[in-house]
Amino acid sequence: MAHRLSLREAAENIRQRKLSSVELVQALHTRIRKIEPKLEAFLHDDFDLAVKQAAQRDAQPADGPLHGVPVAIKDNISSAGRPCTCASMMLKDYVAPYDATVIRKLETAGAVVFGRLNMDEFAMGSSTENSAFQKTKNPWDLARIPGGSSGGAAAAVAADECFGALGSDTGGSIRQPAAFCGCVGLKPTYGRVSRFGLVAFASSLDQIGPVTKTAYDSALLLNAISGVDPMDSSSLPQPVPDYTKYLGRDIKGLKLGLPKEYFIEGLDPRVKQVIDQAIRHFGSLGAKLVEISLPQTPHAVATYYVIATAEASSNLARYDGVRYGLRTEKPGDVLDMYFRTRAEGFGPEVKRRIILGTYVLSSGYYDAYYLRAQKVRTLIRRDFEKAFTQCDAILTPTSPTVAFKFGEKTDDPLQMYLADIYTIAVNLAGICGISVPCGFVEKPARLPVGLQILGPAFGEPIILQVAHAYEQSTPWHLEKPNL
């Protein structure tokens, strides 16, 4: 049953020599072989490589905080010698030639990098249905999606196929699947974690973060991967505290904001009922609940899909069949090579976003769309800055619904985009947020609900403190899907 351990428990077992790193890797591999045919969370498991690395860890003193603990990686984060496909035909044969900064930091902390997790192609999606290779299932109901784009990471963590994982969050891609799968997902402040080695989607929004079983595990992983990096000019030289030191502190007297714009029509009544119960629980813990306003919230989705698609259009221009990735066979000329390579390599959703992004950046439309969206983004950030003068953290639903069935929203991209309505403003503002399990909707299936806790820029200590206090006084993080 070693696969059921939390990241913290796995690290303690190794430190106390109750388990070896090799035993942990083998326990996970046994678990993966048993349930992966049903779940399909991993694109590659790297088992042989992981065993070798684990054996090296076992031969060394246990000095790092994650010494010998296997951590799985979303397939858009470069790890030298391993595939990095971004779940796209464009990069199906690509092998990363270097390590992302977060990979180096994990290994410095003693972790064993283990496996490559499925995702929406180039991180563009909210359901992991856009993967070119397979459809990851939700471990609570295999007929439903796990969320996206880090759906493989959330499903693998929830199903005990890994002790923790790294995902990426551009508009909710860590928090939303964590909510749908009943685990913890943390999106750090923009600039807190280096993006060097993360395959770019929207560079001003992307951020790497942990997907874990508990808030404490998120703090452990965040400790390991945070900090300024000379290879990423957007990473910020803020000191990195030990986030675990903030856990266990009383939240009595903390002011928790409830944005009135987040509790309106469109929120599933069943989800609202669970969220309301969680909010009342915070009151019983002694927190002060205050109503706040984030008036620009109705404009967040439109703003996000202008800025994100514009940056995606620019970033994905590099996949042209010349330097790396797919190249179409026997092109007639260079233009034919460009057209056919991109037509064959990209899936429908990626093409849709490239076209949208190219349009909003085009001559005559730049000012009307992209420039205006950047101005609204500033207003959204100011909303949060004002709100945090009135409260210490903000409580919201992570998603307006529970996990939906496969195919339910694929024919209606707008409905799919609205699945991220509560998460995207966080990326636009550059602040931090965490999703924690807060209960279940019981019908038509028993499905997890996520509570989102938002903090100001570099407010990770406060959101982890609040998340941990809630988690330790409720049973939801202990619930396991029946696989």
Residue 222 lies inside a defined structural domain of this protein: yes
The number of distinct structural domains making up the chain is 2
Q: Is residue 87 part of a domain?
A: yes
Active-site hit among 21, 74, 187, 194: 74
187 is catalytic: no
Looking at the fold, whether 233 and 339 belong to one and the same domain comes out as no
- Is the same domain home to 46 and 182? yes
Please report the beta strands in 140-263, taking only residues with DSSP state E, as ranges in sequence order: 164-168, 184-187, 208-212, 255-259
Q: Which of 230, 252, 274 is the C-terminal boundary of a domain?
A: 252
Q: How far is it, in rounded angstroms, from Cα 332 to Cα 414?
A: 37
- The three-point CA angle 365-126-118 to 5° equals 120
pLDDT at 183: 98
CATH number for the domain spanning 39: value is 3.90.1300.10
Domain boundary among 316, 341, 376: 376
E strand or H helix at 433: strand 432-441
Element (H, E) at 403: none
**272 lies in some domain:** no
Q: Catalytic: which of 173, 235, 313, 399?
A: 173
Report pLDDT digits (tens) over 360-388.
999 889 999 999 999 999 999 999 999 99
Determine the Cα–Cα distance for residues 152 and 346; give it in Å rounded to an integer: 20
- Domain match, 236 and 304 both: no
231 and 126: one domain?
A: yes
423, 432 contact by CB (below 8 A): no
Active-site annotation holds for 173: yes
Does residue 346 belong to any structural domain of this protein? yes
Q: Which residues contact 306 (CB under 8 A, 6 or more apart)?
A: 360, 369, 370, 372, 373
pLDDT tens track for 316-374? 999 999 988 999 999 999 999 999 999 999 999 999 999 999 999 998 899 999 999 99
Question: 244 with 339, same domain?
Answer: no
Could you report the per-residue pLDDT of 108-129, keeping only the tens digit for each?
999 999 999 999 999 999 999 9
Are 231 and 324 members of one domain? no
User: Same domain for 225 and 357?
Assistant: no
Question: Could you tell me if 244 and 335 lie in one domain?
Answer: no
312 lies in which domain range? Answer: 298-376
What pLDDT score was predicted for residue 224?
Answer: 98
In a domain, 364, yes or no: yes
* Same-domain pairing of 70 and 197: yes
Question: Do both 21 and 100 map to the same domain?
Answer: yes
Of 134, 116, 132, which is closest to residue 124 (Cα–Cα)? 132
- 95 part of a folded domain: yes
Q: What's the rounded mean pLDDT across residues 471-479?
A: 97
**For residue 406, is it within any domain?**
no
For 137, phi then psi, to 5°, come to -100, 155
Give me the sheet containing 112-117, strands edge to edge.
42-44, 112-117, 70-74, 164-168, 208-212, 184-187, 432-441, 447-455, 393-397, 255-259, 288-292
Is residue 351 located within the same domain as residue 224? no
Check 149, 194, 218, 226 and give the catalytic one: 149
Check whether residue 49 and residue 167 sit in a common domain: yes
Whether omega before 230 lies within 30 degrees of 0, making that bond cis, reads no
Domain boundary among 220, 235, 252: 252
